[in-house]
Amino acid sequence: MDSRNGPQDARAWRVRLKQSKVTVVDVARAAGVSKSTVSLVLQGSSLVNEQTRARVGAVIRELGYVYNRGAANLRQAKSKIVGIVVNDLTNSFFAELAVGMDMVVQSAGYIQFMANTSENADRQGEVIASMREHGMAGLILSPARGTTAADLKPLVDSGLPVVLVARNVPGLKVSSVVSDGQAGAAAAVRHLISLGHRRIAFLGGFSDTAVFDERMRGFREGLRETGLEAADELVISSAPSRAGGVAAVERMLLLGDRPTAALCFNDAVAFGVCDGLRSARIEPGTEFGVIGFDDVIEAKTAVPALTTVSVNPQGMGRRAAQLLLKQINAGHFDAEAIVASVRLVVRESCGAPQGTREQGVHSA
């Protein structure tokens, strides 16, 4: 209905609706909200604020819409849809994570609905609401920055199986698959120290995330073991992207007493750090040591080949999907926390001799 046609046409449209079978789409249109919002109101979800709930309820009563809960339950019971929501598909790590999930989900006969939130918690709420409307059987979520337990509690309370992957949300009792970031960062720092580096920076990442905190703890732990301290000026946060890596290394190069090596928040940042070093005519791997985190596919073929902490993103994706399917099939479940072990893959970017060797890192 085009509101430009005036109130008379609006009233006529409502009269016609009352004389025919009213749908959720009709209710959404009349209430000025999305179809997903109407569905959440019908399900009694606390994700909808009271003002919107009241408006939708008034339209439902006016149009005489009848919610067929039995049919909705039947759709839910037969659902073969798995929702997968990640925070940054432009990052190779999350693309590989999604590939791992897809392998398991498809082989089990499920269809995946995937969405990218671009680190936007509001967008995350919208896509999850839309997926719930389609009756998904379960959800795998890599939470957007700033996601709180309160944001996801209504979803968890609904009984929907949920698995967090790559990132945890403090205070939320759901299953999760994460990597041992602290152990990996500590191993990376130990390696740099073994090569003779004493002034080591930590570059990239948002300092208000749990993953950053874990890797920072490992960074400080590795330094403390040899009596070194992590000076505040050597911890430079930035977006966890290639552009963020360039920005971080540019700030680092302004320091009077420059470091000789850096542990980067992830591989994307490490690639940007290498770009920024070359722009300053400093050759990574020979004049400055660089270590990344994740071991994405491009790490091996980069020039120089990137030393990095491997977390096996495809493997993490597979484990998250297996855990979700286990919960869907069981019908009831206890939260399981899986912390995947990591390993340091030594290549050329940290100043090591050419060739690759691996050092095991065991989780506590």
Among the listed residues 24, 119, 27, the one whose alpha carbon sits nearest the alpha carbon of residue 71: 24
- Residue range 293-308, pLDDT digits in tens: 999 999 999 999 999 9
Residues 6+ away with beta carbon under 8 Å from 11: none
**Host H or E run for residue 96:** helix 92-107
DSSP conformational letter for 5: G
The pTM for the full model equals 0.75
Is the per-residue pLDDT at 4 higher than 50? no
- Residue range 264-275, pLDDT digits in tens: 999 999 999 999
Strands 111-116 and 138-141: unpaired
pLDDT of residue 68: 59
Is the per-residue pLDDT at 6 higher than 50? yes
pLDDT of residue 47: 73
Find the mean pLDDT for residues 215-233: 93
pLDDT of residue 66: 67
Triad 268, 274, 278: Cα angle to 5°: 150
61-75, 159-173, 304-318, 327-341, range with the lowest pLDDT: 61-75
Find the mean pLDDT for residues 232-242: 95
Q: Where do the domains of the chain lie, and which CATH numbers do they carry?
A: 3-67 (1.10.260.40), 78-179+313-342 (3.40.50.2300), 181-312+343-361 (3.40.50.2300)
pLDDT of residue 11: 58
Contact of 346 with 307, CB cutoff 8 Å: yes
pLDDT of residue 21: 67
Q: Which residue has the higher pLDDT, 11 or 85?
A: 85
pLDDT of residue 5: 53
